Amino acid sequence: MNQHHESTGPADEQQITLRGPAELADALPYLMGFHPNDSVVMVALHGGRGRFGGRLRLGIPQSPQEWPPVAEQLAECLIKGSERRGERPDAIVIFLCQDPAEGESGSQIMERLKPLAQRLRTACGALDVPVLEALCISAGRYWSYCCPDERCCPAEGNQLALPGTSVMAAAAAYAGIQVRGTLREMEAKLAPLNTTVAAEQQRALDSAGAELVPKILDEVGRKDVARETLGLARRLMKRLREAPVTVPSASDISDDRLISHDEAAAVILGLQDRETRDKAAEWMEGPEADSALRLWRALSRRCVAPYEEHAAAPLTLAGWVSWSTGDEPGARVALGLALRADPGYTFAQLLHEACNQGLDPETLRRCLRGERSARTGRRGHRTDRSTRPRTARPTATRRRKTRSGSARPETTTTRRRPGQASPSRRGSRSGR
């Protein structure tokens, strides 16, 4: 059996040594904050003690034909991303997690995913970073793709440790780290509503799109929509904040009931404008953060068909607030869903990579604080000027400023794809 000595943190923090595939498999949920389903997880290791570094997760592609290019992209993403931080990985650990389908066994899953594991190992090796261990986790058992010794890694696999009984579980409990269930359960809390109210929400989105899209495409109207969107969002946050506290299991249902279909539709459409979304991103800390996160999560659930792509904005905001407040697992899930809704959503791409690489969100927080302060300062400056006494000028000498030649705002209309509804139905998407 291969021996591994992995440290869960830097030298000045509590360190746990993991030895062998069994303890690595048991540590995965604590590394991610949830049990990954149907996922490829890659974790960078640094130094002689194997300190955990950047990590990434991707759903396992269904078609084996996709495995070679995906393996190369994942290896490059993890290794190059770590290099940009100045820490090239010394090794990588790979996890392939998938539950068996009906009539399928864990051993069959392991055999079916073996080519993918080999592709990942080859892709990492091509970039001169060895794969220290590659594990398959399925049906409560684990298999090593790297250990040939059947005495410790038999063909039928090994049973995972009982939850809460390992050294890693004890250390995580001491550190206050919680495993929130499965990835599928976490994603379900952000998924579009599929109840009878979905049709009502769709009609509200249709109506809001017909009203707001023409305004967003107009320079003056766009500013009005932005102001109304942010004002409504603030009122909804206040409503959520002042609502009676409920048990966690019922909090999402309670939040959904506090927001009407028309209110949700108006904010969802308004957030498709990039500048409006960026201003909303400033609510990422302090007393605003909790109610903002609840609002973005609730709005993500309101992006029902055929408006699923519109969820990229509220999901990205939910991921950003989660990351900013220290909830990296929640951030990764929300940002992953945002990219699933719109793979080209730049803000989600940047945040997802930064979060996976373990960067400090304070840099972006400082930037957003600066934007807010500068904007507040400009408003105060205009107010001061407006209160100064001005010398009256003859009416004949006054000139009315025209808008001719003024720069048009960075706005794009809805991107239509084959079979996609028209802008009046789908709404507007401005910027990324």
As a whole number of angstroms, the distance between CA 306 and CA 196 comes to 15
Tokens of 272: 């498709």
Task: List the chain residues with pLDDT less than 50.
Answer: 1-13, 383-428
pLDDT (0 to 100) of residue 405? 36
pLDDT (0 to 100) of residue 381? 55
Single pTM value for the model: 0.74
pLDDT (0 to 100) of residue 395? 35
> Distances in Å between the alpha carbon of 230 and those of 111, 144, 225, 308?
52, 51, 9, 21
Go through the domains of the chain in sequence order and give each one's CATH number. Answer: 20-151 (3.40.140.10), 189-363 (1.25.40)
pLDDT (0 to 100) of residue 390? 36
pLDDT (0 to 100) of residue 151? 86
pLDDT (0 to 100) of residue 48? 81
Give the closest residue to 200 by CA, choosing from 250, 260, 272, 269: 260
pLDDT (0 to 100) of residue 172? 66
Give the closest residue to 146 by CA, choosing from 138, 157, 135: 135
Residues 6+ apart with CB under 8 A from 212: 225, 266, 269, 270, 427, 428
> Distances in Å between the alpha carbon of 347 and those of 29, 190, 296?
27, 18, 15
pLDDT (0 to 100) of residue 382? 53
- At 196-245, the pLDDT tens digits run 889 999 999 999 999 999 998 888 899 999 999 999 999 999 999 999 87
DSSP 305: T
pLDDT (0 to 100) of residue 133? 94
